[in-house]
Amino acid sequence: MKKLIFALTGLTAFIVVHALAEEEEAPLAPLEAGSVSQEDGLANWAKIHEVFSHPRCANCHVDDSGIPMWSGPSYGKTRPHGMFISGGETRIGIEFVQCGTCHGRENSPTPHGPPGNEVWLLAPAEMQWFDKSSQEICEQIKDPERNGGRTILEVAEHVSHDPLVHWGWDPGPGREAAPYSAAETTDSILKWQAAGAPCPSAE
């Protein structure tokens, strides 16, 4: 087990550095509550949902089975990540088939090569988006139990600053990027919040 612990420690260090980097950025200011209409709020949520449900985001926001997905225009038929890959309980891979076995610090320049980032891991299981409706994801984003313990403003900051989130807009050659941009999505979250964070009705 020693080496696994070592590797985990290495990863934790990565995440800590990462978190520090995030804190150094200038904090976002929320918009004035009520300054955005309910209707515009829902329109902004629709944009946010387009991003969150996009394969570049949702493929790694999966349930507690820990199996990342391959889906979206560049992947053909939706299926679990090939090669029997599992993120495991740690969400960083299992027993030396860690995500980092293949996913490096940058996107592979070779077509169909592995995408990469400073950190590569699955989102926590409670933050599952894959296979969930717009309404379900919306309720989830407002619930600190299921959004990583964040206020909505902190969710906006996370989207605004987090390198792994930003990867969704820079996914490497041959992969369709998430729509809009980090800045636009952050902006949408702030507007949605100002409209009272309305959620669409269940489908």
Partner 1 sequence: MASIGTIARRTFLIGSAAIAGGVAFGYYAYQRPVSNPLTDILGDGETTLNPFIKIDQSGVTIITPRADLGQGAYSIQAALVAEELDIAWEDIRVDPGPPSPSYFNAIVASEGFPAAAWDKGLGASALRGLGSAMSKFMGMQMTGGSTTVPDGFDRMRMAGAVARDVLLSAAAEQSGIAKAELKTKDGAVITPSGDELSYTSLAEAAALIEPPSNVKLKPESEWRYLGKNMRRLDIVEKSTGTAEYGIDVIMPDMVFATVRTNPRFGGGLKKFDASSAEKMRGVIKVVEIDGGVGVLADNTWRAFKAADAIDCDWGSAPYPATSDEQWTEAAASFTEERQDSQFRNEGDVALALDGADLIEAEYKVPYLAHAALEPLNTIVQFKDGQLDIWTGTQIPGIVIQNIASLTGLDADNIKVHVLIGGGSFGRRLEDDYVQQAVQLAMAHQGAPIKMTWSREEDMTHDFPRPMGMARGRGSVKNGKVDAYDLGIAYPSVSASQFGERYGVPLPGPDVTIVAGAWDQPFSIPNYRVTGYRVPPLVPVSSWRSVGASGNGFFHDCFLDELIHAAGADPLEERIRLCWHEPSRKVLETVGEMSNWGSALGENRGRGVAFTFSFGVAAAEVVEVTDTPQGIKIDKVFGAAEVGKVLDPVNIEAQMQGGIIWGLGHAMNAEITYADGMAEQTNYHAFEGMRLYQTPEIEVRALTNGPDLRGIGEPAVPPAAPALANAIFAATGKRIRELPLNKHIDFV
Partner 2 sequence: MNETGNHMQLKVNGKEHEVEVEEDMPLLWVLRDELGITGPKYGCGITACGACTVHIDGMAIRSCSMPVGDVFGEVTTIEGLGTPDALHAVQAAWIEHQVAQCGYCQSGQIMAAAAFLEVNPDPDDEAIDRALSANLCRCGTYVRVREAVKTAAAKLRGV
Q: Is 84 in the site for partner 1 (CB under 8 A)?
A: yes
Give contact residues for partner 2 (rule: CB under 8 A).
1, 3-4, 6-7, 10, 82-86, 94-98, 100-102, 104-106, 108-114
Question: Which residues 99-128 are close enough to bind partner 1 by CB under 8 A?
Answer: 111-112
78 binds, among partner 1, partner 2, none (CB under 5 to 8 A by kind): none
Least distance in Å: CB of 122 to partner 2?
15
- In the bound state with partner 2, the residue whose beta carbon lies nearer, of 31 and 94, is 94
**Mutual orientation of helices 38-52 and 182-194 as an angle, nearest 10°?**
140
- In the bound state with partner 1, the residue whose beta carbon lies nearer, of 97 and 197, is 97
The residue within the footprint of partner 1, chosen from 38, 79, 101, 133 (CB under 8 A), is 79
Least distance in Å: CB of 112 to partner 1?
5
Contacts of 22 (CB under 8 A, 6+ apart): 157, 158, 161, 162
Residue 175 token pair: 């992969």
- In the bound state with partner 2, the residue whose beta carbon lies nearer, of 11 and 159, is 11
100 binds, among partner 2, partner 1, none (CB under 5 to 8 A by kind): partner 2
- In the bound state with partner 2, the residue whose beta carbon lies nearer, of 85 and 121, is 85
- In the bound state with partner 1, the residue whose beta carbon lies nearer, of 81 and 91, is 81
- In the bound state with partner 1, the residue whose beta carbon lies nearer, of 20 and 83, is 83
Question: Which residues 144-183 are close enough to bind partner 1 by CB under 8 A?
Answer: none
79 binds, among partner 1, partner 2, none (CB under 5 to 8 A by kind): partner 1
Provide the β-strand partners of residue 80: 69
Task: Please return the burial class of 2, using the count of CB atoms within 10 Å of its CB with bins 0-12, 13-18 and 19+.
Answer: exposed
Q: Which residues bind partner 1 (CB under 8 A)?
A: 79, 82-84, 111-112
